[in-house]
Chain A
Amino acid sequence: MARIGVFICHCGENISATVDCEKVAKVASEFPGVTVSVDYKYMCSDPGQNMVKEAILEHNLTGVVVSACSPRMHEPTFRNACAEAGLNPFLCEMANIREHCSWVHEKSDATTDKAIDIVRTLVEKVKRNEALAPIYVPITKTAVVIGGGVAGIQASLDIADAGHKVVLVEREPSIGGHMSQLSETFPTLDCSQCILTPRMVDVARHPNITLYTYAEIESVDGSIGNFNVKIRLKSKSLDEKLCTGCGACIQKCPVKKIPSEFEQGLGKRTAIYVPFPQAVPNKPVIDRVNCTYYIKGKCKVCEIVCPTKAIRFDQEDSFVEVQAGALLLATGFDVLKTNFFPEYGYGKYEDVIDGLAFERLASASGPTKGEIRRPSDGEIPKKIVFIACAGSRDPAKGIEYCSKICCMYTAKHAMLYKHKVHEGTPYIFYMDIRATGKMYEEFVRRAIEEDEVKYIRGRVSQVYEKNGKLIVRGVDTLLMGQAVEIEADMVVLATAGIASPGSEELAQKLHVSYDKHKFFSEAHPKLKPVETNTAGIYLAGACQSTKDIPETVAAASGAAAKIAGLFSNDLLKRDPLIAVVKKCAPPLYSSCTGCFMCIPVCPYQAIDKEEIKDRSGNIIKTISHINPGLCQGCGTCVAFCKSKSIDILGYNHDQVCAEVEALLNEW
């Protein structure tokens, strides 16, 4: 006989404000098989959990239903409590009467009735639950880190320092990401390259880190503990082992006019190139789209000048496969860069640039050696207008969210400009100043009070060119919308931060979720900020949402700690909610007819064939067999099996049918 305990939580008033919890407890106490039914203010609190434990012992319960928040929140909490009281944790279920009931309905009888129905459903389910034992799988203690920006660099070093192997995959020819493009960084104004380059070198030298640049993830299968990652090494047209990085090829390459991506188009590069002088690895790649040899079939100057004969024109993409226990996404962000704002003339006027281009102008290693000069004629601008939120907070033309970093970098830009051009005037058109980090507000105040940056609250309506000046038409909303027209020499747009291109495809390859802006989604916005919903896959940095460097690095170290934590065990404990082929007594052995419809539909190749033999070893029957290490419990095979020979633990036929009946019959 079932002896079920039902525990109704008020969640302070989160549930009891709209659901009559006492009534629910009372009605539930009369459900067949229910031995105890009580309500309490906070079930997840210590006294709440103790209540559950004591009831288990006192009434020798065979099942527990906690009617409270979503199981996604507290199922582990209560399953642990049950286990502590000696009840198999899989005999505990949660009835979600908060997220799916009290929070989505007004206070009414219908709401209470719905809560009762939900509880009844789970009571019927739990009566049919079986005691299950967790599954243990071995863990491969290698992490694949995807993306070599500051997030990927920091995380790789942390994991490697913890003693585990790391494979770092970067799709550009060098690691470094956006941070390597920055001039000086807020709020301390320290030189970006100076703090980043040593870490890049550490990555290259670390014995536990294997670095693949110019490489991309081809495919991923397997699951937490045992991923199989296939990496495509794009051809660099070069034998890296032979190349010494002497740079002779770069100097002699005749194709010299390619706009440099690293310099945001403000500088030029050759066809065989390293993105920037401090690149890691400091070995070139040939850009086949622009190389004369690949276009016209002749040149090969680089091959001729190379002292070590490292150039390989016929090199093809190659692949490596890596076994890994965990993956870390650190693919960063990008800036919105099309001419999505025709009224600001971006893409039309040379002197309307974006923030990243300004970083290059201000950088001592940049195309102007750190002098602020306008792209059109190289003149030093007397007036610069910075436009904040250019594309952010703009559902109409850009994106609706706040990019978070641009208030700060715009203040920084205006400051750097003022430091370099003392007689110049920086104007910033802004809507709000969001400076919420440590020392950030002070930084902005310094820009306004000491560096005389002119902040004007209002959004610019139009920028157009006249007689070599850029006319900026805005208003001052703090002066009743008074018109402000500035004749500027240069305009810098704080364009929006967006997800890195290719994020969606990557997310699909890895089966992690992403939001509508294509940023990867964390498993919980507060409590699991560096985990994804897919076990074993973590994220860090600006690939989650635009972040500044301090936040990025904090997240990277956090994710690294999670991975090191995972790797601190040899075996991984997993929920046993997987498929099983039903067996029965001879001579049938199993209702499985051996049609093997289930094999091709399993997304994890977890099903194979099993031969049932008699004592003398003759094959009586071939039926399907599920590999518990691979099965993820999706249940697709269940729906496909015509003879209903596969069931899924935790969601078996009996259970779900009982749920449907219980849910509907008393309605």
Chain B
Amino acid sequence: METNNTNSFEPKVVAFVCNWCTYAGADLTGTSRIKYATNVKIIRFPCTGRIDFMLLMKAFANGADGIIISGCHPNDCHYTSGNFHARRRWMIFRNLLDFIGVDVNRIVFSWVSAAEGAKWAEVVNESVDQFRQLGPATSYQKLIKNSEFQEVE
């Protein structure tokens, strides 16, 4: 189980999850009483297909140290193909992120179904570990804030 050690850096993590699979999976984590790090807070979307680049940048600009994007498994998307589009878009974002100096390791892409309560806890804990090692994301935040970040990509 994660313990919030006071000395070590505790990253702020936002999770963008889809309503049908991962949100329900995270509900199951709760129903199963599986514990995970408090660092992660969830925002619900209809589908990972809804999540655009701007939102990721917005999160970094507001101080996120890491982002988890999680939805249904390939082929299991509640909306047929939303997650597939999300995945494809992510491939394009990666290069863009790299370009503006955001470490792509600060974004974790995962699939968690409604039946995978335990997996959600794993994803959270592993991601928090990963972000913890990367340290605070302040430099990117400054960069993003200063570069007069606009709501158009």
Contacts and interface: CB of A to CB of B under 8 A. Distances in A.
**A–B direct touch in complex (beta carbons closer than 8 A):** yes
Interface of A: 70-73, 96, 98-100, 103-106, 108, 110-111, 113-114, 117-118, 121, 507-508, 511, 513-516, 521, 533-534, 577, 601, 603-604, 632-636, 638-640, 642, 644, 648, 650-651, 653, 656-657, 659-661, 663-665, 667
11 contacts: A99-B26, A104-B35, A603-B80, A633-B46, A636-B82, A639-B52, A648-B46, A663-B14, A664-B12, A664-B14, A665-B62
Given A639-B50, A639-B52, A664-B59, A117 B41 contact: yes
B95 to A, nearest CB: 17
B86 A639 contact: yes
Given A104-B121, A642-B152, A664-B64, 6 more contacts: A111-B38, A603-B80, A634-B49, A634-B79, A638-B52, A651-B45
Nearest to B33: A103
B91 to A, nearest CB: 14
Interface string B14-32: 1000001101101111110
Contacts of B153: 642
A513 B86 contact: no
B85 interface: yes
Interface in B81-100: 81-82, 85-86, 89
B42 interface: yes
A480 to B, nearest CB: 36
B79 A104 contact: no
A651 B27 contact: no
B62 A664 contact: yes
Question: Which 5 residue pairs across A and B have the least CB separation, nearest first?
Answer: A635-B50, A99-B30, A634-B79, A636-B49, A603-B80
Contacts of B41: 114, 117-118, 121, 663
Interface centre among B1, B44, B51, B153 (most CB of A within 10 A): B44
B43 A603 contact: no
Contact of B38 (A108, A534, A650): A108
B82 A72 contact: no
Nearest to B29: A104
A356 B76 CA distance: 32
Nearest to A632: B79
B113 interface: yes
Nearest to B85: A636
Interface of B: 1, 4, 12, 14, 20-21, 23-24, 26-31, 33-36, 38, 41-47, 49-52, 55, 58-59, 62-64, 72, 75-82, 85-86, 89, 113-115, 121, 151-153
B2 to A, nearest CB: 9
A346 to B, nearest CB: 30
B contact patch SS: loop
A121 B31 CA distance: 23
B4 A635 contact: no
B63 A667 contact: yes
Contacts of A72: 23-24, 27
Contact of A104 (B34, B78, B86): B34
B59 A660 contact: yes
B50 A657 contact: no
A111 B3 CA distance: 12
A511 B38 contact: no
A99 B27 CA distance: 5
A603 B63 contact: no
A644 B29 contact: no
A103 B31 contact: yes
Interface centre among B42, B50, B75 (most CB of A within 10 A): B50
Given A70-B27, A665-B62, A577 B121 contact: no
A601 B77 CA distance: 14
Contact of A636 (B29, B43, B64, B81): B81
Contacts of A117: 41
A104 B27 contact: no
Contact of B78 (A121, A534, A648): A534
Given A72-B27, A104-B29, A664-B59, A110 B4 contact: yes
A175 B78 CA distance: 30
Nearest to B42: A100
B38 A110 contact: yes
Contacts of B46: 577, 633-635, 648, 650-651
A537 to B, nearest CB: 11
Contact of B79 (A73, A99, A636, A650): A636
A534 B19 CA distance: 12
A121 B52 contact: no
Contacts of B31: 99, 103
A412 to B, nearest CB: 32
A239 B31 CA distance: 55
Contacts of A604: 79-80
B21 A513 contact: yes
Given A601-B85, A639-B85, A105 B33 contact: no
Given A660-B62, A667-B12, A105 B50 contact: no
